[in-house]
Amino acid sequence: MKIAFVGKGGSGKTTLSSLFIRHLAATGAPVIAVDADINQHLGAALGLDEAQSAALPAMGAHLPLIKEYLRGSNPRIASAETMIKTTPPGEGSRLLRVREDNPVYEACARPVRLDDGEIRLMATGPFTETDLGVACYHSKVGAVELCLNHLVDGPDEYVVVDMTAGSDSFASGMFTRFDMTFLVAEPTRKGVSVYRQYKEYARDFGVALRVVGNKVQGEDDVAFLREEAGDDLLVTVGHSDWVRAMEKGRPAAFALLEENNRAALRSLRRAVDESYRRRDWERYTRQMVHFHLKNAESWGNAKTGADLAAQVDPAFVLREGLSAAQPA
């Protein structure tokens, strides 16, 4: 199952995504966590110190390796250089599984030991000084999108992505790659503005969207969020001494997280599990192809010098039961 946490800057989406990751790991579920935010804070929220966070490999730096591995023996892709972030898999492509070991995870993922389990953590990499004025952060996030397009995940496997703030993810088709998008909103006008944008953009693509109210201090805050988000409001979260200690670098055992917050995390998981049961793999694949053709026409063909529409395998549907890695 693929889950995105989104919201405006400062809404607490990284904190809540890290809590959800800890919750899943504590139940023994296999988890891949991805920091796709321009400000890389997920590692610290999961307990890494500054040196450990800085040592995380950047997925963007390994994009040639990722492309070459995923291309496999797909005859529709002439070379790794002609692959772009939206290139869909086809017959002969190598696919990724949450539980497997492969060269992509070896290069880009690092194990992180939590109180009650271990996860894999991946990061797009920060926006560096050399990028200023010449690069777009979406090119870094493209490595994440390419991996999600080639990932065959199952009902008891979780990929949790901490997305970049605001509505920037709509600059690509990545917002359609998730079984559930949790929008973290504070009970303020600014806090719900990103929700309105997401709701509008996602409507035509069947994106499952639920709101998580954060920094809620009383019933008036809950009423405000309910008025703004209606039935999309799933749970609300208030002050947490456990989170405050974690943000100071002195977290208690995760089992000591307040029960009301643990109950909220259980509600998030139930919503994710229910959404996955409704996944339509054929629509999922069609959306992938739709955005690939749009990107090919708008910039991909010109950049690569190839007709990227020819990369689409019309008979291929990504679904459970496909082999994890197609033969090279």
210 token code pair? 């639920």
Determine the Cα–Cα distance for residues 282 and 164; give it in Å rounded to an integer. Answer: 27
Q: What is the pLDDT of residue 134?
A: 37
- Furthest-apart CA atoms within the chain: distance in Å: 59
- E strand or H helix that includes residue 110: strand 109-114
CA angle 321, 322, 323 (to 5 degrees): 115
How many Å apart are CA 316 and CA 195, to the nearest integer?
Answer: 34
Parallel, antiparallel, or unpaired for β 209-213 and 31-36?
Answer: unpaired
Q: How many residues does the chain have?
A: 328
Question: Which of 65, 68, 15 is CA-nearest to residue 45?
Answer: 15
Q: Are strands 109-114 and 158-163 parallel, antiparallel or unpaired?
A: unpaired
* Distance separating alpha carbons of residues 305 and 225, to the nearest angstrom: 49
Q: How far apart are CA 153 and CA 157, in angstroms?
A: 6
Q: What is the pLDDT of residue 185?
A: 94
- Looking at residue 171, what is its pLDDT? 64
Per residue of the chain (328 residues), what is the pLDDT tens digit? Answer: 999 999 888 889 999 999 999 999 999 999 999 999 888 899 999 999 989 998 999 999 999 999 999 999 999 999 999 999 999 999 999 999 999 999 999 999 999 999 888 999 999 976 555 444 434 445 568 899 999 999 999 999 999 999 987 666 666 688 899 999 999 999 999 888 889 888 888 888 889 999 999 999 999 999 999 999 999 999 999 999 999 999 888 888 999 999 999 999 999 999 999 999 899 999 999 999 999 999 999 999 999 999 999 999 999 999 988 765 554 4
